[in-house]
Amino acid sequence: HPVDALIRRLPKTELHLHIEGTLEPELMFALAKRNGVALPYADVDALRAAYDFSDLQSFLDLYYAGADVLRTRQDFYDLTWAYLERAQADGIVHTEIFFDPQTHTGRGIPFDVAFGGIRQALDDARSRLGISSRLILSFLRHLSEEDGLATLEVALPHLAGIDGFGLDSSERGHPPSKFQRLFARCRSLGLPCVAHAGEEGPPAYVWEALDLLQVVRIDHGVRSLEDLGLVQRLAEARVPLTVCPLSNVRLKVCPQLAMHPLRQMLQAGLLATVNSDDPAYFGGYLQENFLACRAALDLSADEVVRLVRNGFEAAWLPAAEQARWL
């Protein structure tokens, strides 16, 4: 299809990617062997067969279990480098990635082991692959605000290598309002904040992320369409939404890709972007997300260009750099 050629050719951004969600089954088995970790699956195929999720939590249970093979700084470097090579093949020129330090500190892996390996790979990608990046420290919302505050304290010596803060994990029952003090502290450090909201949670959680956490972007936000006042607010303030179509289908946020609200979001004037979320678990990296949406929704060339341009507008790039791509 001619629009597919356009998708492949355009330089793109990725603004919603969990680095732990890029752990491919092959690398998971290789790291398990390297670190002497036993996996409860016979092989790569048995593991992949388990990637049949009923909701966000059923995915998160596997995602946190899988991350247990990540033990050393080299493991985190290898994980991140594999993603960056993949990103380059997909035409990504700028990526803003999340890491979940509490997933690692909670099982005894020091903050600087995870952070150091990821940071080094991102730095190397700038010179070796020509990919620019930002690193977003994301807090786990199923844990307490105190745990988040303690994590932030541990991160402070490394703040020069951190570009922003996020909020992810189990959304239902863990509203943004639970983290007001933590995000006030993050903002006082002069860094931008984002939050997952309106993925499984209601539009009220998107309002809270905007008004109580003062985030500059909403991750997912697909359920915002249920609240017209919220759509108006997001459109007028040009708050970017980092939408992840294949993720939404795999986690049953959306019944099938043909019913995904991506086009409605654009038509409502929202600054929607396309991203891959946890591509090793959801069956496709960025290019696959675009190509699958093109086919299922019959996206036009104009719509694809709009989505790609939105990515550059939503990215944390200096104005001069942004202007170069737009």
Catalytic residues: 199
Residue nearest to ligand ES4 (CB): 168
Chosen residue from 22, 132, 133, 169 binding ligand ES4 by CB under 6 A: 169
Any contact of residue 277 with Zn ion (CB under 5 A)?
yes
* Helix segments in 156-244, DSSP class H: 180-188, 203-211, 228-236
Chosen residue from 27, 277, 287, 315 binding ligand ES4 by CB under 6 A: 277
For the chain, count helices (H), then strands (E). 17, 8
Strands 194-197 and 132-140: unpaired
The residue (of 3 and 136) whose beta carbon lies closer to Zn ion is 136
**In terms of Cα–Cα distance, which of 49, 121, 48 is closest to 87?**
121
Any contact of residue 21 with ligand ES4 (CB under 6 A)?
yes
Structure tokens at 91: 């035409």
Q: Rounded to whole angstroms, how far apart are CA atoms 176 and 211?
A: 10
What are the binding residues for Zn(2+)? 16, 18, 196, 277
Are residues 234 and 221 in contact, defined by beta-carbon separation less than 8 angstroms? yes
Beta bridge partners of 222: none
Chosen residue from 18, 73, 119, 294 binding ligand ES4 by CB under 6 A: 18
The residue (of 275 and 287) whose beta carbon lies closer to ligand ES4 is 275
Any contact of residue 168 with ligand ES4 (CB under 6 A)?
yes
The residue (of 60 and 317) whose beta carbon lies closer to ligand ES4 is 60
Structure tokens at 46: 């048995």
Residue list 296-315, contact with ligand ES4 (CB under 6 A): none
**Residue 196 beta carbon to ligand ES4: minimum distance, rounded to whole angstroms:** 5
Residue nearest to Zn ion (CB): 277
Q: Rounded to whole angstroms, how far apart are CA atoms 203 and 230?
A: 7
Any contact of residue 14 with ligand ES4 (CB under 6 A)?
no
Burial status of residue 191 (CB atoms within 10 A of its CB: 0-12, 13-18, 19 or more): middle
**In terms of Cα–Cα distance, which of 64, 76, 63 is closest to 35?**
76
Beta bridge partners of 136: 98, 164
Determine the residue type at 270.
L
The residue (of 170 and 287) whose beta carbon lies closer to ligand ES4 is 170
Residue list 186-225, contact with ligand ES4 (CB under 6 A): 196, 199
Chosen residue from 278, 280, 303, 311 binding ligand ES4 by CB under 6 A: 278
What are the binding residues? 16, 18, 196, 277-278
Binding mask 97-136 for Zn ion (x = CB under 5 A): ----------------------------------------
Chosen residue from 247, 276, 289, 310 binding ligand ES4 by CB under 6 A: 247
Q: Rounded to whole angstroms, how far apart are CA atoms 144 and 271?
A: 31
Q: From the list Zn ion, ligand ES4, none, pick the one residue 21 interacts with, judged by a Cβ distance below 5 to 8 Å according to partner type.
A: ligand ES4
Place of tokens 């010179």: 127
Any contact of residue 289 with ligand ES4 (CB under 6 A)?
no
Distance of CA 249 to the CA centre of its chain: 16
Place of tokens 């809270």: 208
The residue (of 75 and 277) whose beta carbon lies closer to Zn ion is 277
The residue (of 208 and 277) whose beta carbon lies closer to Zn ion is 277
Residue list 99-138, contact with ligand ES4 (CB under 6 A): none
* Helix segments in 193-300, DSSP class H: 203-211, 228-236, 245-250, 262-267, 279-282, 286-297
**Residues composing the chain:** 326
Q: Which residues bind ligand ES4 (CB under 6 A)?
A: 18, 21, 56, 63, 168-169, 196, 199, 247, 277-278
Q: Which residues bind Zn ion (CB under 5 A)?
A: 277
